[in-house]
Amino acid sequence: MTIRIIGTGSCLPENIVTNDDLAKIMDTSDEWISSRTGIRARHLAKEETTAQMSAKAAKQALEEADMKAEDLDLIIVGTLSGDYVTPSTACEVQSLIGADHAVAFDVNAACSGFMFAMNTAYAYIHSGIYKNALIIGAETLSKLMDWNDRSTCVLFGDGAGAAVVTADDTGLMKFTQGSDGSKGMVLACKNRLNNNPLVQNPTEPDYVYMDGQEVYKFAVSTVPASIKKVLEEAGLEVSDIKYFLLHQANIRIIQSVAKRLKADPDKFPTTLEHCGNISAGSVPILLDEVNKKGMLQRGDKIVLAGFGAGLTWSASVMEW
Ligand code: UT7
């Protein structure tokens, strides 16, 4: 018994900010951002919250799956930018969509969050505990960015992607996942200020910090290795795969992975041009775009891969 994706959905905030828009408020340019990353614009939330975007994406996924919210047993949201410390975004989503019978919780695995959510849903469903799950990757990263740090803030965007998975004989074939906490500080965001009266707070709050080159090196070695691992375990070749849906951090990372796998770069669809990096939201939003464009047929084999803060990474191969 495995899990199969039977519906997808996504939601991006209305407000679009281009590279030229950013160049008006900081020392950057469309040329620098697009040539180094491939990113041309991103959606940044003004009104939308992580839970609201998640719920919209979830409703689309349920509709495609032809499933009612009350039939869900499990909701897992991968996010590092929920609206509250508690309740979890997953519990908010449960309430917003009326999934009264589901158990709901978040996982924080940064840009691997959707993948870790899917792997967790697999574990519950494979073991027979649950049958139907809603998995989501969603972020409102704009509220956590240091808007004085041009090397990082220009890269990220907001949005949510969702998938409904159900118990089936075919679907997810193999997955791998990993973490390396010893390198956690290369991409970090401290918690909110400490309200303990015994503790003196720093004068400035901390926002997202990234050592871009370290993360780059980690990504271009770990992602191809984890994809090769799942393909080998599944007894598949690179040529058997229709699409590789990678975390959308940087077009140069995606091109490097394609080269290392000796795969056709056309098999790597992207959203980063118009979305930027949406951390846990990247993979499910890309999956939804590919699905909505009718690019997937039943039986196609696809690879999903995420990597990011933690450090964390995951790759999976599935039959659509
Ligand atoms: O989901 C998390 C995953 N994150 C990632 O995958 C990020 C991986 N890393 C990267 O994608 C790249 O390292 C970046 C795109 C973040 C940076 O590219 P880089 O080629 O490593 O640039 P750099 O940080 O070495 O900066 C080069 C220059 C510097 O100027 P100097 O010191 O050479 O004069 C920066 O100050 O570019 C400057 N710079 C900028 N210039 C214009 C940095 N940010 C900007 C900017 N606009 N936004």
Backbone phi, psi, residue 317, to 5° = -120, 135
> What residues of the chain score a pLDDT lower than 70?
203, 205
What size, in residues, is the chain? Answer: 320
C-alpha distances (whole Å) from 169 to each of 4, 23, 57, 69 are 8, 51, 26, 23
Q: Are residues 164 and 20 in the same domain?
A: yes
Task: Say if ligand 1 is within 6 A of residue 312 CB.
Answer: no
- pLDDT at 267 (0 to 100): 98
Domain finish residue from 105, 138, 169: 169
Amino acid making up residue 236:
L
Query: Do residues 173 and 315 make contact, with C-beta atoms less than 8 angstroms apart?
Result: no
Q: Are residues 87 and 203 in the same domain?
A: no
User: Structurally, how many domains does the chain consist of?
Assistant: 2
Distance 155 CA to ligand 1 centre (A): 9
- pTM equals 0.96
Amino acid making up residue 193:
L
In this structure, the residue with its CA closest to atom 27 of ligand 1 is 151
Q: Are residues 164 and 243 in the same domain?
A: no
CATH of the domain at 303: 3.40.47.10
Task: Say if ligand 1 is within 6 A of residue 209 CB.
Answer: no
Q: Are residues 164 and 180 in the same domain?
A: no
What is the rounded distance in angstroms from the CA atom of residue 40 to the CA atom of residue 37?
Answer: 9
Q: Are residues 25 and 80 in the same domain?
A: yes
Amino acid making up residue 161:
G
- pLDDT at 192 (0 to 100): 73
Q: Are residues 53 and 181 in the same domain?
A: no
What is the rounded distance in angstroms from the CA atom of residue 43 to the CA atom of residue 60?
Answer: 19
Domain finish residue from 132, 152, 169: 169
- pLDDT at 201 (0 to 100): 76
Q: Are residues 165 and 221 in the same domain?
A: no
Domain finish residue from 115, 142, 169: 169
- pLDDT at 305 (0 to 100): 98
- Atom number in ligand 1 closest to CA 250: 11
- pLDDT at 101 (0 to 100): 96
Q: Are residues 164 and 194 in the same domain?
A: no
In this structure, the residue with its CA closest to atom 28 of ligand 1 is 151
Q: Are residues 226 and 301 in the same domain?
A: yes
Q: Are residues 24 and 123 in the same domain?
A: yes
Backbone phi, psi, residue 311, to 5° = -70, 150
Query: Do residues 12 and 43 make contact, with C-beta atoms less than 8 angstroms apart?
Result: yes
- pLDDT at 196 (0 to 100): 84
Q: Are residues 260 and 282 in the same domain?
A: yes
Short-list 113, 159, 189, 184, CA closest to 276: 159
Task: Say if ligand 1 is within 6 A of residue 177 CB.
Answer: no
Short-list 276, 264, 266, CA closest to 237: 264
Domain of residue 229 covers: 174-319
Q: Are residues 192 and 114 in the same domain?
A: no
Task: Say if ligand 1 is within 6 A of residue 148 CB.
Answer: no
Distance 25 CA to ligand 1 centre (A): 18
- Determine the Cα angle at 277 with ends 13 and 27, to 5°: 90
